[in-house]
Amino acid sequence: MANCYICETELNKDNSSNEHIILNACGGRLTSNDLLCVKCNSEIGEKIDAILAKQTNDLANLLLIKRHRGEAQSIRAEHVSTGREFYLEYGGKPIAVKPHIEIEDIEKGKKISIKARSRSELKKILTGLKRNYPQLNVEDALGKAKHFREYLDEPLNFDTMIGGSDVLPSIVKIAINFYLLKGGDRKYIKDLIPYLKGESEMKVAISHHPQDAIYIPGDEVSHVLYIEGNPDEGILYAYVELYNVHNFLVLLNQNYDGPKIKTNYIFDVLQSVELNRNVYLEYGKEYILETLKKGDLGSVKSVQKAFQRVLNIAKERQWNKSKDDSIKNAMKNSFEKYPEGTPITEKMLNEFIDELMNDIGPLLR
């Protein structure tokens, strides 16, 4: 039987937890029931993992990452010219953060323009406005309201980040999970447990972008894990790369005397498949300790290039999903109103084309 590597409680079917080696929030699929008990996973894992999940949420959303459970959260963004705030839902659909209300003076009184997100919201707004404008006829206004689809002709801006000391415990946890999954011995990582529990400060992880590419992705977006244990130099370390953009170096043990280890895991998060590729990374002990001491954020241009590559892939995936959704909606609105089994006529095809062009046409401009 395995033991929880945090508290060393013996694990069984009642107290073991299904631990994702890489977070479910990042689309991780590799799991183990032999790492953490439910209690430790709840008290420690969820606390430190929530920070990493939040910081990687934007990429998970834009890339349409599939998880074992749940979907990426919406992204809060701002319209460039108007400053209006929107939520970008999973799938790319923008939803206004709040209704838009304009009140202007005209010769005969007031002109009120309202953009609400639903009919019920519109009624609530009108009812509230009636307190200040008693002459307002709520039912009449509701009767004149029109449903419309708004297309944004300018980009939405949002800020995204990953890094800082708060996120590093979760990265260290990923490295420990992978090391133990591959048969590593707890005694070589036990000194890191107080760090994971928030009981001590340790400089054992850092954002790290190698000058020479250690892995060159093809068309995929991937997570990369690499573990090396070298008893000749007395070093055990890990490299963690998320979405081919956010990279970290983790020192697991600087007095390592166990067996030689060199193993990696590459996971295509778009196709949800493991890739059989090589990772080219062999760091010496002196380099690792010096890097942790001085810091090494890598070339800004190389980081920007990597990020832009992933954003281009995300843009293409969003566009393809928009086309697919438009086709499905057009088919539903044009064909499903007829009885099942009705032969498709030219009129039905024209209705389908009109529906499709109404939906997708503005996106092609």
pLDDT band per the 50, 70, 90 thresholds, residue 298:
low
Higher pLDDT, 77 or 270: 270
Query: Is residue 361 over pLDDT 80?
Result: no
**Nearest residue to 174 via CA among 30, 72, 271, 33:** 30
Mean pLDDT calculated for residue range 341-351: 79
At 32, list the tokens: 């183990």
pLDDT digits (tens, 9 = 90+) for 18-55: 999 999 999 999 999 999 999 999 988 778 999 999 99
Residue 177 CB: number of other CB atoms within 10 A? 26
pLDDT digits (tens, 9 = 90+) for 157-188: 777 776 778 899 999 999 999 999 999 999 99
**Inter-CA distances, 317 with 106, 187, 189, 220, 310, Å:** 46, 44, 40, 12, 11
pLDDT at 165: 81
Query: Is residue 296 over pLDDT 70?
Result: no
**Nearest residue to 210 via CA among 282, 266, 129, 268:** 282
CA distance 265 to 227: 9
CA distance 310 to 61: 12
pLDDT digits (tens, 9 = 90+) for 233-259: 999 999 999 999 999 999 999 999 999
Among 86-100, 108-122, 302-316, the range scoring the smallest mean pLDDT is: 86-100
At 356, list the tokens: 């499709």
- DSSP summary character for residue 40: H
Higher pLDDT, 358 or 59: 59
Contact (Cβ atoms closer than 8 angstroms) between residue 225 and residue 173? no
Mean pLDDT calculated for residue range 98-109: 85
Higher pLDDT, 319 or 197: 197
Higher pLDDT, 21 or 326: 21
Mean pLDDT calculated for residue range 105-114: 84
Beta strands in 164-219 (DSSP E): 205-207
Query: Which residues lie below 8 Å from residue 45, measured CB to CB, with a gap of 6+?
Result: 17, 19, 36, 173
Highest mean pLDDT, choosing among 53-67, 256-270, 279-293: 256-270
**Residue 266 backbone dihedrals phi, psi, to 5 degrees:** -125, 125
pLDDT band per the 50, 70, 90 thresholds, residue 261:
very high
CA distance 112 to 126: 10
**Terminal CA-CA length for the chain:** 62
pLDDT digits (tens, 9 = 90+) for 66-100: 888 888 888 888 887 788 888 878 877 788 888 88
pLDDT at 252: 98
Q: Give alpha helix (H) positions in the chain.
A: 38-40, 46-62, 119-129, 138-144, 168-181, 193-196, 285-294, 300-335, 346-364
pLDDT at 151: 67
Query: Which residues lie below 8 Å from residue 210, measured CB to CB, with a gap of 6+?
Result: 247, 281, 298
**Inter-CA distances, 151 with 145, 183, 359, 360, 364, Å:** 18, 53, 10, 10, 11
Decide: helix, strand or coil at residue 249: strand
Query: Is residue 205 over pLDDT 60?
Result: yes
Q: DSSP string spanning 275-290? A: E---------HHHHHH
